Structure 1
Amino acid sequence: MRDNRGKRHELAVVLVGVTLAVLSNRDGCLSSIHRHLANHYEKLVNVLGEEKRRPLSRSQLPRVLEKVSVAVFDDLIFSHFGIKLNEKERKWLAIDGKELRGSIASGAKRGEAMVQAVAHESGKTMAQNYYCGTKESEVPRVRKLLTERALLTQKISFDALHCKPQTLAMIAQSKGKYLVGLKENQKQLRQEVLKTSENHANLWKIAGTKKGHGRIETR
């Protein structure tokens, strides 16, 4: 793919880099995604066997991505891994809280706020609720939304604010599923999750041989 400055970029490298960034918890921020892509660019082109060029610039990243068909790219990923999901299996809801613009009074830190359950695929708001941010926090309001709107049996994604035992237990007990962020401020839980993932079998391995200094190294 050629950007508007005439520079060529291998689309496979860009898309794989963006996908890896999203899987590394860089979702939602293009600057963060681009930093991850740039920092791992050399390793990425080596693994993919592509010619090494300068990484795509931050300003060009959204211009390239807007030309990609999300539906086609989505199908390619799922077909590559042999995954076929029906409509029900693909239905995930994202829980998010927002301050209402213009509602924060002078000298105050919080104002009127809302929590929403938004469908991942369509972006449609499936449920929402309002509360006063100066009197109540987002966490209990989200629990109330999940209960009152019968969402506990659904598949829900949260940010790290909602990585709370009570919230997640409510979903698990109702046979729902959840995906939640985990930050370094929960050190013990994070270490346990990392250890658990280390004990899983590798999905694939990459090996290479290098000669030099009178020896052969295999990595």
Structure 2
Amino acid sequence: MDFFAHLSLIEDPRSSVNRQHDLVDIMFLVMAAVVSGCEGWQEIEDFGTNKLDWLRKYRPFAGAIPTRHSIARIIRGIAIEPLVHALFTWVNARRQAAGQSIIAIDGKTIRGAVNQHGSDNCLHLVTAFDTGEGLVLCQKATQHKGGEIETVRQLIDCLDIKDAIVTMDALHCQKETLQRLTARGADFVVQVKENQPGLLAAIRSQFQPWWEHDGEGLAQHCTQEQGHGRQEERTVFQLTAELPAEQKLAWPGITSLIAVERSRGQKGKVTLDTQYYVSSLAIEPEQAAKAVRQHWHIENKQHWVLDVTYREDLSRIGDREAAEVFALFRRIALNMAQHHPKSISKRRKIKCACWSDDFRMEMFFGVTTDANCSQKV
């Protein structure tokens, strides 16, 4: 099923009376504009006016490009859940995951999308991110950051995560959340902090005898990195979970415990810290180290890129429904940029999509030509 077939599954919420613009046409217009770097409704209208001939190669666009107000009103009326399902089904059909996927789940607040009620009503989104493929797999909004736990559970229920490793931060070290992951056939690596004091104390207690001997004899994996005037050594220790009976009963899916010891040296000063994780994985410290490390890809390769390249945190779309749809289109645009094989930065890909009709076509429909960013359009 192609891109337009997925969009055609979205129900048009408008009355059929005096309906001037086709819904699929408008969604394609907005998606193409966002892929090309447009950040607001006026820019989308301008893009459509200037690229109408290109748009008509793929869709009828029987009338003129609607005004920015009409575009915003149409997008605001779309039901978000069917749109999320349609677009991410299209994304997943293009995935080419090799080996066991590592899927990071985390939340992000769009700080610029503030409505008339103030900052407490900033749009907060939870996303699942395939850290190997670099693709956003799904998004779900929560009413506020404090509601993220339940939203993550809902996200887990709608993801295809069988045989994947799911990573999450300490907020989601919750019995019900881990049970849902296990029920869905997924493994997990989840950080543990003071929000679960009994579990954290049990983990520290099990590692303590080993620390007295510098971890000698523990399954471990060590890496060293150097850059930006800083040297970092990370050692991942893993052992079979032997929790007290009470903890074992409360956390039945935990198979192994992980400790990550980090030593950072910069300007002659060395800092040490240790973080703890629980996992359903068997003892394989190299795999555990990879899962812990790749969890941060959701920050570095999704959140950071959305803010710096797509300027998401500067978005001033205050209407919550419209902001959520626009955020979805940004994430799909990020996926399309990631999927395009040209070895250039995502920022350059956005510029190429803006300048080159052929490159923009490739972003949607795959590479069939050697599109040149500098070609005359």
TM-score range, shorter chain: 0.3 to 0.5
More helix by share: 2
Structure 1 length normalisation: TM-score?
A: 0.46
Structure 2 length normalisation: TM-score?
A: 0.28
Higher relative contact order, structure no. (Cα contacts within 8 Å, ≥ 6 residues apart): 2
